[in-house]
């Protein structure tokens, strides 16, 4: 309970006697300097054996409303002329010490709820419970070495620096993002790749035959090292649960290369070495446009053959495919 105090309260006396059960008392003169807010404490018969502490809850003229026997004192009768003084009590000091020793989480200093929880245990989760306009989730991030999962950044990225470890983000520029050169890796400066590494999928258990899925999320180069055993078809997709159409946006392109080997023959039904006779994208047939206007019609004997397909998305589920054949022996 909040009690109020004044440093200029003037002593007074009782204007009429009161019994131990009285809930009002009459002052001899109008009070001077008493607190203007309630409650506050008065001592009746101050510094006498019959001293009693009362809690003043209202003042009207010379009449005060009182709660008797405050702070363990005993309600009793008081005669006319008993000295009345505004005092600080033992309860005031006890309350101060109790408040001082109360944990924040138990409501010290008037702090309650999620703020008290955070002050008692300042974790990221407890802080998030205090604020109401945050975005995102997870732990707090500070300037040095943070790990941020799947952020969405809008606007301009500004950063400084010109040295760093391989693969480390260095700075943003007017034309792209600068990265440190990675030894044998994929350095990119101003958005231009130099000396990149391409994901390479070697399929060595069986030669190509039948319908083959080419998953671009696995690799951009597929190499079948075992000899082909028949002609085959190629289906380009993201992977077993992702379409290529969902990966590319209109106006984007990707180049995928497929390499395979043929033995010395014979080739049944022949007469030519085996090759990809058709392609599909996400299961839908597409007719490639061939370099030199010459469609592929054979592989190569005792050699490694290849076809590079540049797949251009021109509209939703609509693609132009440019194909180039090569042979290596």
Domain-ending residue, one of 172, 197, 222:
197
* Secondary structure of residue 70 in the 3-state scheme: helix
Question: Do 241 and 287 share a structural domain?
Answer: yes
Q: State the pairing for strand pair 52-60/318-328.
A: unpaired
**25-29, 95-99, 214-218, 229-233: least confident range:** 95-99
Residue 91's closest CA among 123, 64, 135, 54?
54
Quick check: 75 pLDDT over 50? yes
**In a shared domain, residues 73 and 190:** no
pLDDT, mean of residues 245-256 = 94
Out of 82-96, 158-172, 178-192, 290-304, least confident range: 178-192
| 59: in domain | yes
Residues 279 and 321 in one domain: yes
**What are the residue ranges of helices labelled H in 193-278?**
244-247
Least trusted range by pLDDT, from 114-128, 218-232, 250-264: 114-128
Instruction: Compute the distance between CA of residue 202 and CA of residue 259 in angstroms, rounded to an integer.
Output: 9
Please check whether residues 261 and 184 belong to one and the same domain. Answer: no
Please report which confidence band the pLDDT of residue 113 belongs to, taking 50, 70 and 90 as the band edges: confident
pLDDT at position 259 is: 96
Q: What does the block give as tokens for 135?
A: 């975005």
Locate all alpha helices (DSSP H) within the chain, ordered by sequence.
90-101, 113-120, 124-130, 244-247
Higher pLDDT residue, 171 or 230?
230
d(CA 194, CA 266): 43
Rounded to an integer, the average pLDDT of 67-82 is: 96
Answer yes or no: is pLDDT of 152 > 80.
no
Is residue 210 located within the same domain as residue 299?
yes
* CB-neighbour burial class of residue 251 (10 A; exposed 0-12, middle 13-18, buried 19+): exposed
Segment among 29-38, 125-134, 175-184, 203-212 with least mean pLDDT:
175-184
Please, what is the average pLDDT of the chain?
A: 86
Average pLDDT over residues 202-229: 93
- pLDDT of 325: 95
The radius of gyration computed from the CA coordinates of the chain, to the nearest angstrom, equals 44
Same-domain status, 176 and 225:
no
Asked if residue 99 is part of any domain, the answer here is no
76: closest CA among 35, 17, 15?
A: 17
For the record, the structure tokens of 213 come out as 């899925």
Residues 211 and 258 reside in one and the same domain: yes
**Overall number of domains in the chain:** 3
Which of 34, 38, 40, 45 minimizes the C-alpha distance to 74? 45
Question: Same structural domain for residues 167 and 219?
Answer: no
For residue 151, is it within any domain?
Answer: no
Q: Is residue 165 part of a domain?
A: yes
Average pLDDT over residues 278-305: 95
Are 317 and 250 within one domain?
yes
Domain containing 189: what range?
159-197
177 phi and psi angles, rounded to 5 deg:
-120, 135
* Mean pLDDT of the 132-142 span: 82
Task: Evaluate whether residue 104 is within a structural domain.
Answer: no
Task: Determine what percent of the chain is predicted with pLDDT higher than 90.
Answer: 63
Which of 167, 197, 227 finishes a domain?
Answer: 197
| Contact in structure between 32 and 9 (CB atoms under 8 Å) | yes
Together in a domain, 231 and 248: yes
152, part of any domain: no
| Contact indicator for 28, 40 with CB cutoff of 8 Å | no
Q: What is the pLDDT of residues 277-291, one digit of tens each?
A: 999 999 999 999 999
Within a domain: 164: yes
Can you tell me the distance from the alpha carbon of 303 to that of 228, in angstroms, rounded to the nearest whole number? 11
* Whether residue 189 sits in one domain with residue 81: no
In a domain, 47, yes or no: yes
- Any idea which residue has 């309650």 for tokens? 112
Using the 8-state DSSP alphabet, how is residue 174 labeled? T
Q: How confident is the model at residue 211 (pLDDT cuts 50, 70, 90)?
A: very high
Phi/psi at 156 (nearest 5 deg)?
-95, 135
Last residue of a domain, one of 197, 225, 244: 197
Whether residue 257 sits in one domain with residue 242: yes
Instruction: Give whichever of 55-64, 109-118, 135-144, 153-162 has the largest mean pLDDT.
Output: 55-64
Residue corresponding to tokens 């077993």: 240
Does pLDDT of 209 surpass 80?
yes
pLDDT for position 40? 97
Q: How far apart are CA 224 and CA 214, in angstroms?
A: 12
8 Å CB contact between 298 and 275: yes
Collapsing DSSP to helix, strand or coil, 131 comes out as coil
Max mean pLDDT range (75-84, 119-128, 184-193): 75-84
């Amino acid at each position: 309970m909040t009690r109020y105090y004044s440093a200029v309260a003037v002593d007074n006396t009782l204007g009429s006697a009161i019994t131990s059960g009285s809930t009002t008392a009459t002052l001899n003169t109008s009070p001077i300097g008493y607190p203007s807010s309630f409650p506050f404490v008065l001592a009746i018969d101050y510094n006498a054996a019959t001293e009693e502490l009362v809690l003043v809850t209202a003042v009207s003229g010379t009449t005060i409303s009182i709660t008797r026997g405050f702070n363990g004192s005993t309600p009793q009768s008081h005669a006319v002329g008993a000295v009345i003084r505004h005092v600080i009590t033992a309860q005031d000091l006890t309350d101060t010490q109790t408040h001082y020793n109360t944990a924040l989480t138990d409501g010290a200093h008037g702090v309650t709820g999620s703020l008290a929880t955070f002050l008692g245990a300042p974790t990221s989760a407890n802080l998030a419970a205090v604020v109401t306009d945050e975005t995102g989730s997870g732990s707090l991030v500070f300037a040095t070495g943070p790990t941020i999962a799947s952020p969405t950044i809008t606007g301009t990225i500004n950063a400084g620096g010109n040295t760093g470890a391989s693969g480390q983000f260095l700075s943003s520029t007017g034309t792209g993002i600068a990265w440190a050169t990675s030894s044998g890796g994929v350095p990119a400066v101003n958005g231009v790749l130099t000396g990149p590494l391409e994901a390479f999928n070697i399929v060595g258990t069986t030669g190509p035959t039948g319908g083959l899925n080419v998953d671009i999320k696995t690799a951009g180069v597929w190499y079948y090292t075992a000899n082909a055993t028949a002609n085959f078809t190629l289906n380009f997709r993201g992977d077993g649960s992702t379409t290529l159409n969902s990966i590319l946006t209109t106006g984007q392109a990707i180049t995928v290369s497929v390499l395979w080997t043929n033995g010395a023959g014979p080739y049944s039904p022949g007469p030519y070495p085996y090759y990809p006779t058709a392609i599909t994208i996400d299961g839908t047939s597409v007719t490639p446009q061939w370099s030199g206007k010459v469609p592929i019609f054979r592989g190569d004997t005792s050699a490694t053959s290849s076809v590079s397909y540049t797949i251009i998305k021109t509209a939703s589920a609509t693609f132009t495919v440019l194909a180039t054949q090569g042979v290596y022996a």
